[in-house]
């Protein structure tokens, strides 16, 4: 019995010595188990490159990647793009002192969120005039183009809860209040995964950000016109404009209404020339007043160039007695003004002269381009850039 016990003790000691001598021959790798994972279609999958045993020793890893159908996948830089909807099988191998240890990772490829893209941001938006809303597209790497499923809304931030402005998708929207807003684009793909992307922007009161190029004062009366202060207009002409005005009794075409020098102004960062006009409350059923700009060059008495009829502002019985904001597109205005040194705002009476109401002209200003993120209205010194 004593011999048996002695033999067992010797065997245990010998076995321990052998394992100590061959340290690492049976080292067990940490986290070295077969597994199944999910990755998003179109994403980059990075392969494992090292493994560790319980003692923290590092080992190099080799990997092969195949589709579940057995097709070998080319791997560059220890990564590949998951574009096979069927998925992949990755086989990792580590040589631990001649003992090759293997594990398999099954990769299931699943749909992900669509990618939403705005065509541009909204850097400068102003009240009371149309703003072009960016276009939005959506692409899903799993299903392809999904822009047809997009919805786009405009919200105004409010402490009592954000307000949906019920944007109709027309591509333009006119904001009536200054404040903080955001666009919200949302899309749901075929996997029923919804992606939402908000684009915040600020709406500024346009009346605080206009660049005055002709301001009505008692010192700049035009020929045959009279000055009328803002307080004298209260109750006479209704509407948003609260400044002074030039006035004259209507006698048909008033070709000498307003004349001023353009100087040299750069209009590249503006969208509209804005002017306030009005006539007294009409009684005529058919009478109509048209307002439009014409341009001249005093140096050689060049003939006037008239803005397009489509840009003329018409005031009739229904709109008389109110201030009306007259907007001329910059592209049209600049083309006619280039190389000239006079601008006149003309009023023409049409369809009879049963009554002769006075007409009024307020300040003329420039409205900045809402799509120009570099535009700063404060302290600007613009030039026309004449040819």
Q: Identify whether 2 is part of a domain.
A: no
How high is the pLDDT of residue 89? 97
> Of the ranges 74-83, 141-150, 209-218, 372-381, which one carries the lowest mean pLDDT score?
372-381
* Torsional class of 24: left (φ above 0), alpha (ψ -120 to 50), beta (otherwise): left
Q: Is the pLDDT of residue 291 over 90?
A: no
Q: Is the pLDDT of residue 189 over 90?
A: no
How high is the pLDDT of residue 318? 87
Quote the distance between the C-alpha of residue 19 and its chain's center: 69
Q: Identify whether 14 is part of a domain.
A: no
Which of 57, 89, 110 is the last residue before a domain boundary?
110
Mean pLDDT of 91-95: 94
Report how far residue 137's alpha carbon sits from residue 115's, in angstroms, rounded to the nearest whole number. 8
Mean pLDDT of 148-155: 94
Higher pLDDT, 209 or 243: 243
Residue with tokens 């992900």: 112
Q: Is the pLDDT of residue 87 over 90?
A: yes
Q: Give yes or no: residues 189 and 223 share one domain.
A: no
Query: Which residues touch 353 (CB under 8 Å, ≥6 apart)?
Result: 250, 252, 287
Q: Where does the pLDDT of residue 370 fall: very low under 50, low under 70, confident under 90, or very high at 90 and above?
A: low
Q: Is the pLDDT of residue 177 over 60?
A: yes
Burial class (CB in 10 A: 0-12, 13-18, 19+), 357: buried
CATH number at residue 139: 2.60.40.10
- Span 196-239, pLDDT tens digits: 999 998 888 866 656 776 778 777 666 677 889 999 988 889 98
| Encoded tokens for 346 | 């003309």
How high is the pLDDT of residue 256? 45
Q: Give yes or no: residues 193 and 218 share one domain.
A: no
CB 119 within 8 A of CB 135: yes
Instruction: Report CA-CA distances (Å) from 379 to 58, 146, 187, 302.
Output: 65, 45, 43, 34
Residue 228's nearest CA partner among 280, 167, 272 is 280
Higher pLDDT, 270 or 150: 150
Q: Give yes or no: residues 184 and 225 share one domain.
A: no
How high is the pLDDT of residue 261? 47
Q: How many domains does the chain have?
A: 3
Q: Give yes or no: residues 302 and 223 share one domain.
A: yes
pTM for this prediction: 0.48
Q: Give yes or no: residues 327 and 361 share one domain.
A: yes
Q: Identify whether 387 is part of a domain.
A: no
How high is the pLDDT of residue 191? 86
Q: Is the pLDDT of residue 112 over 70?
A: yes
Q: Give yes or no: residues 157 and 287 share one domain.
A: no
- Span 248-266, pLDDT tens digits: 776 555 544 455 544 445 5
Q: Is the pLDDT of residue 167 over 80?
A: yes
Residue with tokens 């960062």: 269
Which residues are registered as beta bridge partners of 360? 247, 278
Q: Is the pLDDT of residue 372 over 60?
A: no
Report how far residue 8's alpha carbon sits from residue 187's, in angstroms, rounded to the nearest whole number. 73
DSSP symbols for 161-190: --EE----SSSEE---S-EEEEEEEEEE-T
Domain extent, residue 80, equals 29-110
Mean pLDDT of 318-332: 83
Q: Give yes or no: residues 131 and 216 share one domain.
A: no
| Encoded tokens for 294 | 């014409």
Residue 243's nearest CA partner among 214, 282, 202, 272 is 214
């Amino acid at each position: 019995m004593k011999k048996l016990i002695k033999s067992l003790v010797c065997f245990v000691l010998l076995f321990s010595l052998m394992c100590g001598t061959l340290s690492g021959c049976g080292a067990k790798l940490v986290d070295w188990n077969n597994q199944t994972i999910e990755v998003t279609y179109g994403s980059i999958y990075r392969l494992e490159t090292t493994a560790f045993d319980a003692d923290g020793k590092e080992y190099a890893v080799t990997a092969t990647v195949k589709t579940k159908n057995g097709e070998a996948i080319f791997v560059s830089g220890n990564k590949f793009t998951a574009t096979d909807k069927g998925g992949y099988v990755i086989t990792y191998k580590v040589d631990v002192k001649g003992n090759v240890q293997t594990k398999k990772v099954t990769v299931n490829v699943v749909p992900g969120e669509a990618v939403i893209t705005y065509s541009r941001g909204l850097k400068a938006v102003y009240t009371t005039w149309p703003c072009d809303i960016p276009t939005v597209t959506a692409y899903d790497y799993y299903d392809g183009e999904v822009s047809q499923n997009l919805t786009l809304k405009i919200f105004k931030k409010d402490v009592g809860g954000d307000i949906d402005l019920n944007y109709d998708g027309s591509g333009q929207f006119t904001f009536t209040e200054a404040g903080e807003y955001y666009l919200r684009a949302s899309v749901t793909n075929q996997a029923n995964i919804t992606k939402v992307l908000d684009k915040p922007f600020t709406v500024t009161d346009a009346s605080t950000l206009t660049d005055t190029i002709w301001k009505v004062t008692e010192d700049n009366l035009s020929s045959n016109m009279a000055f009328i202060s803002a307080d004298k207009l209260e109750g006479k002409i209704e509407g948003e404009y609260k400044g002074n005005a030039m006035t004259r009794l209507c006698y048909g075409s008033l070709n000498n209404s307003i004349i001023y020098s353009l100087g040299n102004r750069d209009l590249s960062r503006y969208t509209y020339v804005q002017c306030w006009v009005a006539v007294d409350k009409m009684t005529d059923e058919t009478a109509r007043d048209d307002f439009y700009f014409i341009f001249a060059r005093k140096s050689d008495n060049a003939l006037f160039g008239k803005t397009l009829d489509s840009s003329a502002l018409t005031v009739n019985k229904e709109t008389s007695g109110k201030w009306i904001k007259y907007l001329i597109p910059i592209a049209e205005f600049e083309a006619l003004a280039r190389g000239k040194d006079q601008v006149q705002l003309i009023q023409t009476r049409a369809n009879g002269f049963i009554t002769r109401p006075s007409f009024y002209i307020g300040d003329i200003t420039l409205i900045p381009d809402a799509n120009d993120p570099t535009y700063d209205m404060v302290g600007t010194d613009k030039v026309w850039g004449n040819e």
